[in-house]
Structure 1
């Protein structure tokens, strides 16, 4: 699965449509809100708070078939049937009922607004669609990217009802459609995108062959149950709380910041995104064999290289926010939700053994709920320049998606005041994706740092 953003995603010319469901008024008692959901949604409505999965279907499929499969997916996953709202007591997560909706055709973002077309019965509450399509309805690939960005920025808002949307691109050349599903980050993580692709393609195949959609898929526990399970845990052990205190004190009371010059970050800047294919499958195999020979995993090699680079370029240790997934039980593996907690990875010794220990400690720091640990700080304390590193090895995940579907993890285009780097490993090799602010200083610092990181990894391989 390729990690990209909406300005770079792989798509084709064609007709782009969006399917909007109908949503009932909140029903039932509010559900628990996770630490990360509260932090994310409390920032308010804003463009770019979403992520998306894009993939091609195996066979030609009608809009009605795709919509029916999507409804089956929504019924499987509780978080896709919830909405956020403000109340006197604070943020509320409300269960809702999802009903049939209708399709609208999207167009270049500069076109004039028109009403929605082809609405099904009962969908009168759906908002107007937005721009009209050209006479023939065909968008260029770049127009598709622009339309998706504008559309998801508008409809995948943290407070939208719902905050997810299914889009369908029907290529001009008649090849099978491309599906793009966007959702506000409060309801999905990277693993969830794989679950959504697997579930929708399975449900669609079932519908087309006369089987009940999703009958063979594993049961999917709702994300709210995971939040409740975390809230029910005992208080974190004092040694772990003390270690968090030490880490934050070392960073001046805030989460780690990138230690090399980034320039003026008093205001968020437009993002720069670099995607690099670092190692091919043969090189990756050699690097992995090197790690195994030293009794460590591949991630320890990357941590070792970054530790050495920061020592050489800035005389600083490696200190980075390190997302850790919280799917710590098998029952969460097939669920959609934001099953992520944050840790800090700290290392000043580039040896593989020390790097391995640093990764192990970071995973331990992320094994406990963050809410009680961060409460004295008023939430996760962050300042401009925050540095985060994500490690995504798709080969180790229990959810497999066929690469023939050309799956893509599509991020939004945003403004940023920090640095985020993703190491993505799959059957095609090791890839890097990095996001950083577009300042004159960062335009010098970051490409040089990424060049050095890429070179070291290749030399080690």
Structure 2
């Protein structure tokens, strides 16, 4: 699956139809299940910062031939009926947040009038506008679907607000919707209920994300001397009593987001990724901790800062109840990159991977419990948190033919007051999506940082585990780094 943002999505023009769920009158009722910690955090951000609050994400795939509209209509309804996260939304007041629920049987799929687009730019602008309008955390339902038809093939897109899904959910959604749709196409009559039931029986138990939210709310607070809470407290002390922040100047004041900038690039091709993997393993690390170490080396080359604290998301799907569930089923973990005095990649990687192993021992403690336990020892200064995500799509089920499907994970472009990074590994190698404020300072900083990150990774691949020198002189003489970054 190729990870990108809507402004970089190379979608071929065609005829666009939107497919949206419409509840019947009286189908929506209040639920006593509170939002999860992640949902609450997201909804509070949306309420406080109305500008750019629609942090939607979408899955897209291509299929050959002509779109079968009746089959897709039924496929969407069956897909929605499986996942209770798609039956819920929220009403956010000044002091209260109420979960709303609906009976999927009291709904129907409404299609828009088809509209033809002749350019990729116009099509992207249209989808961004529609997805941003519909997939808003303060609307209900906060998701929609779209198709783009052409003479010989078509694209199916599923877009959701972040309250409803995480990145892993997009893989599940893409695979399930495709499987249901293609199974229905093979049925001579869609009214053949036994045949439809046979298609659905091939899918596993989807689990219940709403049940997860209920259990999270009932989770007991860890005791004061819980070593996992102490580790979080130590991490926040390193960060100065707040969430970690990207250490290079981005040209924005904390808590005052600017329009978002984005960068999508290939870090290493398949061959170099395999080389980098072997080097990291030989040094006792992994691809993920190796890239984090390279990021730390880059920051160190600009600032001399040897410690780089950040957070990374961890999915919680080891519990079989949530293995096939769609929802925001992630928690956050802390990690600290520590660069050795000689800026040696291998030695620094050993420190990073040791921190990563400690982070994995914190499993079982939710961010809600961490915040409650530490109380005023943590203050929130920025809207965003400096984080780096890593997904190896090769290890996720149903991704073997993603290249053939032209599968994409597409994110909205909103606002930002910090930098965030998404690393993805596929059969094609390693790619990176970056999100940051779209300011002159941030753009200069990110060009220099990403250029240097690219240099470090390739130098590691070329030399193996060897010291990485300073890049100050290289940047001073390069056209890309003309003028040192403002840090």
User: How many Å apart are 1:83 and its aligned residue?
Assistant: 1.5
Q: In the alignment, which of 188, 204, 209 is matched to residue 223 of structure 1?
A: 209
User: How many Å apart are 1:278 and its aligned residue?
Assistant: 1.6
User: Is residue 319 of structure 1 aligned with residue 296 of structure 2?
Assistant: no
Q: 1:177 to 1:385 in 2, by over 3 A?
A: closer
Q: Secondary structure at the match of 1:253?
A: coil
TM-score, scaled to structure 2: 0.83
Higher helix share: 2
Q: In the alignment, which of 100, 123, 133 is matched to residue 154 of structure 1?
A: 133
Question: Residues 371 and 379 of structure 1 are in contact (CA less than 8 Å); yes or no, is this contact kept in structure 2?
Answer: no
User: Is residue 41 of structure 1 aligned with residue 46 of structure 2?
Assistant: no
Partner of 1:252: 240
User: How many Å apart are 1:378 and its aligned residue?
Assistant: 9.8
Question: Residues 261 and 436 of structure 2 are in contact (CA less than 8 Å); yes or no, is this contact kept in structure 1?
Answer: yes
Q: Secondary structure at the match of 1:219?
A: coil
In the alignment of these two chains, the number of paired residues is 430
**C-alpha distance in structure 1 between counterparts of 2:432 and 2:181, whole Å:** 33
User: How many Å apart are 1:140 and its aligned residue?
Assistant: 2.1
**C-alpha distance in structure 2 between counterparts of 1:228 and 1:198, whole Å:** 27
Q: In the alignment, which of 310, 313, 326 is matched to residue 336 of structure 1?
A: 326
Partner of 2:294: 305
User: How many Å apart are 1:53 and its aligned residue?
Assistant: 0.8
Partner of 2:17: 17
User: How many Å apart are 1:196 and its aligned residue?
Assistant: 0.5
Q: 1:101 to 1:406 in 2, by over 3 A?
A: same
Per-residue CA deviations over 1:385-415 (Å, capped at 9, x if unaligned) read 7421111111222342522111111100112
Partner of 1:116: none
Partner of 1:123: none
Partner of 1:118: none
User: How many Å apart are 1:28 and its aligned residue?
Assistant: 6.5
Partner of 2:183: 206
TM-score, scaled to structure 1: 0.88
Question: Residues 298 and 456 of structure 2 are in contact (CA less than 8 Å); yes or no, is this contact kept in structure 1?
Answer: no
User: How many Å apart are 1:89 and its aligned residue?
Assistant: 7.1
User: How many Å apart are 1:31 and its aligned residue?
Assistant: 2.3
User: Is residue 353 of structure 1 aligned with residue 350 of structure 2?
Assistant: yes
Question: Residues 263 and 433 of structure 2 are in contact (CA less than 8 Å); yes or no, is this contact kept in structure 1?
Answer: yes
Q: In the alignment, which of 77, 84, 87 is matched to residue 83 of structure 2?
A: 77
Q: Secondary structure at the match of 1:228?
A: helix
Partner of 1:179: 156
Partner of 2:479: none
User: How many Å apart are 1:312 and its aligned residue?
Assistant: 2.5
User: Is residue 103 of structure 1 aligned with residue 111 of structure 2?
Assistant: yes
Question: Residues 241 and 378 of structure 2 are in contact (CA less than 8 Å); yes or no, is this contact kept in structure 1?
Answer: no
Question: Residues 155 and 163 of structure 1 are in contact (CA less than 8 Å); yes or no, is this contact kept in structure 2?
Answer: yes
Per-residue CA deviations over 1:420-455 (Å, capped at 9, x if unaligned) read 111111110011111111222212211111111111
**C-alpha distance in structure 1 between counterparts of 2:361 and 2:125, whole Å:** 41
Q: Which deviates the most, 143-152 or 356-365?
A: 356-365
Question: Residues 238 and 309 of structure 2 are in contact (CA less than 8 Å); yes or no, is this contact kept in structure 1?
Answer: no
Q: Structure 2: give runs of 5+ residues left out of the alignment.
A: 188-194, 341-346, 462-487
Per-residue CA deviations over 1:46-86 (Å, capped at 9, x if unaligned) read 54321111111244222222121111110111101112113
Partner of 1:273: 262
**C-alpha distance in structure 1 between counterparts of 2:384 and 2:39, whole Å:** 22
Partner of 1:454: 454
**C-alpha distance in structure 1 between counterparts of 2:37 and 2:207, whole Å:** 19
User: Is residue 145 of structure 1 aligned with residue 131 of structure 2?
Assistant: no
Partner of 1:389: 388
Partner of 2:227: 239
**C-alpha distance in structure 2 between counterparts of 1:264 and 1:208, whole Å:** 51
Q: Structure 1: give runs of 5+ residues left out of the alignment.
A: 107-132
Q: 1:55 to 1:380 in 2, by over 3 A?
A: farther
Per-residue CA deviations over 1:119-177 (Å, capped at 9, x if unaligned) read xxxxxxxxxxxxxx4xxx34422111010000011111112221100111112xx1221
Q: Which deviates the most, 373-382 or 279-288?
A: 373-382
Q: 1:139 to 1:93 in 2, by over 3 A?
A: farther
**C-alpha distance in structure 2 between counterparts of 1:59 and 1:232, whole Å:** 49
* Aligned pairs for 1:115-126 within 5 A: none
